[in-house]
Amino acid sequence: DSTTCESEETIVVSINDSSDAFAGETINHTITIAENDPIIQWSSSEQSVLENVGIVTLTATTCVKNTVDYDIPYTVSGTSDSNDHALENGTFTLKANTTSALLTFTVSDDEVVESTENISIQLGKVGDVLPSDPDTHKVLISDNDLPTLSWKTTSQSISEDSGTMVLTVTMDKVSYTTVTIDYGTSGDVESEDYSLTDGTLTILAGQDSATIQINIINDTEDEPDEVLHITLSNPQNASTGLEKLSLTIVDNDTPLVQFDTESFVVTENPGNEAIVNIIMPDISYQDIIIPYTLGGTAQSTDYTLSEGSVTIQSTYTKTTLTIPIIDDSLDEPQETLVITLGDPDNADIGSKNAYTITINDNDVPQIAWEKSEFIADENAKSLSLTVQLDIAGYTDISLDYTITEVSATQGEDYTLSNGSLLIPAGQLSTSINILIADDDDVEPNESINISLDNITNGVQGEIHQTAVIIRDDDMTQVEWTKASETFGEDQGTISLSVSLNKTSYTDVTVPYALTISGTASTEDHTIQSGTFVIPANSTILTKTFAITEDGIDEPNESIILELQTPTNARLGINQIKEITITDNDVPLVNWSKSSQNVNENTGQINVTAKLTIPSYTDVTIPYVVYRTLTAMIIN
């Protein structure tokens, strides 16, 4: 007989076979042991609930059914108080003929973050019914009011030159214990842009927030605004609400665009060009488009460039304008091309925003005489001498001219003094006038040299010295003494003469040519093309040639001679001479026989006449018949 409240129990006794007998039909005997202990106890010693459970039910049991109701007393103790539940010391009823009774009470769901609390309910004695283990039931009330962790603001921005920034994590309620939470970074921000290491944030008991300090690194790189995400995770003693903070780091680096230098000097020689660099100190994450305008004194014909824009591509710090310089042929002053940068997209303009290209001209006017010699007859009275430029000057050009006498004499043969000339800007030439004296003397050509020097705003050209030749208009004339003559071929010689209309101070040379228009051949005479040289101070010269007497009957023949360009004289009227050679050879006609005898019956009689020499033409011979004869024609 124990004092433990137990359920009804049974004992089964069985008969087995023995050596003396065998078990019969009924071999099992069951003994039922009923509980007779008047005790009461809780069905369990402990249970756990959340404070939002609402109603908690406890079950008390007994081993013996009673015939009457029993009020079971109980007392309440523990760490919780009346703010946590609605249970006070009291009794609950065990109904007659039952073995269990229920005790219910309400748990208060507050919003206080607190530790787990407990209620201990101790059973008391009811008459002869004694409490038995477990006679105390403990209810553990777990708090359901965990604080919620969130970022104070989930989106913030900061300029990269701000240095540091404090980020705050808050709890919606104060916790009775320490709360921890991990944080980590992500996003498109490079580690060079900030200083923050993934870690754990602690909020001490009794506090409702904690902070994280992040250092923002100020660089000089132009870059887009960057977003750093800081995410909360793995909370301890708390839950998470707004877990992600997006921190925008606003870039403060605007690229500074300018020229690398401010000026450049170039000459307009062929192939020359100006290289202009537009630079930034650091790269940009995006293309920088820079407009520019053109100004200065240079014209569009001096260079190849139009107003427009250039682009510094992302990740580069420079772009280049290559400007070909046009080599023209104009004399012009020094000119300038000024390139001015406008407001670019995504950048600022530096102090070097204007670039001046100075273009030096390579075209200097060359001053020269129009010709290397000017020739005029002395009866021309005057002669204009032209000085010319290869290109017009943009400013006045002045120069001196100096006379050097070669054979002409100032005051006798010409009138001109040393002097100066001015060619106005834009003009290509100027002239001076020399006066020429006309005398009656037969004299050689006379000349002076005139040089150009002391040139301003130009340079000497190739013909910087010219000769002025005064050609004597009193030059003697040479011609055939006779325009035509006749010679018989039996004369033996032919005399040919050329004459001057006045004596010359120098030898006169005149070539002559035997033309093909004459009918005589070289077998008829010894004349060939040649030259007459009339000595100075003489007026006539004769040459003699042979005539061939050939004994041939022929017509009269001609020789045509033509005077060519003479030296130290000029041709007169009789420039062509015709010589006629008359033939002296006449054929004689004779009968081949003075007589002949024939028979009367001969029929036809042939009588022959003959010439002493062949004739160049038909010969007709008349004859007279004294008896009966027939005339004949002998060829």
pLDDT digits (tens, 9 = 90+) for 425-460: 999 999 999 999 988 777 788 999 999 999 999 999
- Give the global pTM: 0.52
> Which CATH number, 3.30.830.10, 3.40.470.10, 2.60.40.2030, 3.40.50.720, labels domain 366-471?
2.60.40.2030
- Give the mean model confidence (pLDDT) for residues 395-422: 96
pLDDT band at 112 (very low <50, low <70, confident <90, very high): confident
pLDDT over threshold 50, residue 635: no
- Give the mean model confidence (pLDDT) for residues 393-398: 96
Residue 227: its pLDDT value, please? 93
The CA distance from 146 to 172, in Å, is 9
Q: Is 292 exposed, middle or buried (0-12, 13-18, 19+ CB in 10 A)?
A: buried
CATH architecture of 148-250: Sandwich (2.60)
Which segment, 94-108, 182-196, 309-323, 569-583, is predicted with the most confidence on average? Answer: 309-323
pLDDT digits (tens, 9 = 90+) for 474-496: 778 999 999 999 998 889 899 99
Fold identical between 366-471 and 477-582? Answer: yes
Among 234, 236, 230, CA closest to 203:
236
Average pLDDT, the chain: 89
- Give the mean model confidence (pLDDT) for residues 499-518: 88
Q: What is the per-residue DSSP string for 127-157?
A: TTBEE-SS-EEEEEEE---PPEEEES-SEEE
Q: Which two tokens stand for residue 293?
A: 């305008």
Task: Give the CATH number of domain 39-142.
Answer: 2.60.40.2030
Among 249, 465, 305, 473, CA closest to 373:
465
pLDDT over threshold 90, residue 35: no
pLDDT band at 36 (very low <50, low <70, confident <90, very high): low
The helix (H) or strand (E) run that includes residue 14 is: strand 9-14
The CA distance from 334 to 355, in Å, is 16
Among 443, 488, 493, CA closest to 470:
443
Whether residue 224 is preceded by a cis peptide bond, meaning omega within 30 degrees of 0, is no
Dihedral angle of Cα 489, 495, 496, 497, to the nearest 10 degrees: -150
Which superfamily does 256-359 belong to? CalX-beta domain (2.60.40.2030)
Instruction: Find residue 169's DSSP bridge partners.
Output: 151, 210
What's the one-letter identity of residue 386? T
Residue 516: its pLDDT value, please? 79
* Eight-class DSSP state of 79: S
pLDDT over threshold 70, residue 510: yes
> Which CATH number, 3.40.50.720, 3.40.50.300, 3.20.20.70, 2.60.40.2030, labels domain 477-582?
2.60.40.2030
Share of the chain above pLDDT 90, in %: 58
SS3 state of residue 112? coil
pLDDT over threshold 90, residue 120: yes
pLDDT band at 604 (very low <50, low <70, confident <90, very high): confident
* Eight-class DSSP state of 547: B
- Give the mean model confidence (pLDDT) for residues 203-218: 92
- Give the mean model confidence (pLDDT) for residues 23-51: 79
The CA distance from 231 to 187, in Å, is 11
Sign of CA dihedral 54, 60, 66, 70: negative
Q: Which two tokens stand for residue 609?
A: 């006449």
- Give the mean model confidence (pLDDT) for residues 546-557: 85
451-456 contact pairs (CB < 8 A, 24+) = 451/401, 451/402, 451/404, 452/367, 452/368, 452/369, 452/387, 452/399, 452/400, 452/401, 453/399, 453/400, 453/401, 453/402, 454/398, 454/399, 454/400, 455/367, 455/397, 455/398, 455/399, 456/397, 456/398, 456/399
Share of the chain above pLDDT 70, in %: 96
Q: Which two tokens stand for residue 36?
A: 């007779």
- Give the mean model confidence (pLDDT) for residues 272-297: 94
- Give the mean model confidence (pLDDT) for residues 300-312: 95
- Higher model confidence: residue 392 or residue 143? 392
pLDDT over threshold 70, residue 627: no
pLDDT digits (tens, 9 = 90+) for 22-34: 777 777 888 766 5
pLDDT band at 65 (very low <50, low <70, confident <90, very high): confident
Residue 228: its pLDDT value, please? 93
Domain boundaries, the chain: 39-142, 148-250, 256-359, 366-471, 477-582, 587-635
Residue 586: its pLDDT value, please? 81
Least confident window among 88-92, 178-182, 503-507: 503-507
- Give the mean model confidence (pLDDT) for residues 356-381: 94
CA distances from 165 to 162, 194, 247, 356, 532 (A): 8, 10, 10, 47, 121
Q: Which two tokens stand for residue 134?
A: 């477990």
The CA distance from 230 to 236, in Å, is 18
Q: Beta strands 373-377 and 465-471: pairing type?
A: parallel
